[in-house]
Every structure is written in structure tokens, then in C-alpha cells.
Homo-oligomer: A and B are copies of this chain.
Amino acid sequence: MSNTRFATALHILTLLADAKGEWLSSDWIAGSINIHPVIVRKELGVLNDAGLVLSRKGKEGGFTLAVGSEDITMDAIYLAIKNSNVLGKKNNQPNPKCPIGKDINEKLDVLFTGIDNSVVRELSGKTLADFVSEFH
């Protein structure tokens, strides 16, 4: 992954966990990460769809965690934002006339999925609460 989506999502969730029930605005969060508030709202939309946060519109609106930080594991965050395989992309049109090229993408699929799953398994062993507790 050469994007900042996991780092951004985890930063957001860490702030929300640290806020202990306070509703934080996208502007405030953006100020901590130092990115554009619209990006924060977009990512919060994704986290909302994943059931990790709640949002409230209008004045005094904002965001808060949907569940306790002990109940949010890192794999849930990762799966919410994941948009590619750990080992990257496959080449588009390997040569169908080549015995290797013909079948390589299905073999890569198996390998890529296995590695993706191992990352998810690894991430499932750590909670947001664990991460937040490292800040003191």
C-alpha cells in the first residue's frame, strides 16, 4: 500500500478513543493529523459504514466511537480501508499462449489471498485499546 489510509484511520480512531465519549469534529481531527477535513470526513464515512464510529449532523455534531476501543481489533480497521492485496497488483494481460503466462494469475490469486489472510490474522491479535494505551 502506498497510501496513508490505514495511518489516517488509526489516527482518527485513536483520537476518538482518547476522547472518551466526547464528540469530535472533522476539523479538529484534521488539525491533529494535519490533513484536509474533507479527507477526514470521507474516511470517517468509511469507518461509519464499517460500524466503528457514529456520526451526528448539525451544530454540536461530530463523531464518536460506536463501540469500546477494547472491542475494535486492528483487522477491522484494516479491512475497512483495504483496497489492494498486500503483494500488490497482478499484470493485466499475461500471454495466453505461454504455459506460464496462461495460468499465472490464478496461481498468484491463491498466493496473494493467503498472504492477505495472514496479515488479517496477525492484526486480529491487537485492539485499538492496546494501541491507545501506548500513549501516556
A contact set with B: CB distance below 8 Å: 1-8, 10-11, 14-15, 18, 31-35, 74, 78, 84-95, 98-101, 103-104, 107-108, 111, 114-115, 118-119, 122-123, 126, 131, 134-135
Other A-B pairs, 7, CB within 8 Å; known A1-B85, A86-B86: A3-B89, A6-B87, A11-B104, A33-B101, A35-B91, A107-B135, A111-B126
Of B2, B108, B118, B122, which contacts A7 at CB under 8 A? B108
Least CB separation from A102: chain B residue: B135
In the A-B complex, the 7 residue pairs with the smallest Cβ-Cβ separation, listed nearest first, are A1-B88, A32-B98, A32-B101, A34-B93, A118-B122, A6-B87, A4-B89
Inter-subunit contact B2/A88 (CB<8 Å): yes
Given A100-B32, A103-B135, A90 contacting B123 (CB threshold 8 A): no
Which chain B positions have C-beta within 8 A of A84?
1-2
Of B78, B93, B95, which contacts A87 at CB under 8 A? B78
Which chain B positions have C-beta within 8 A of A114?
122
Which chain B positions have C-beta within 8 A of A118?
118-119, 122
Of B88, B103, B123, B134, which contacts A6 at CB under 8 A? B88
Inter-subunit contact B11/A91 (CB<8 Å): yes
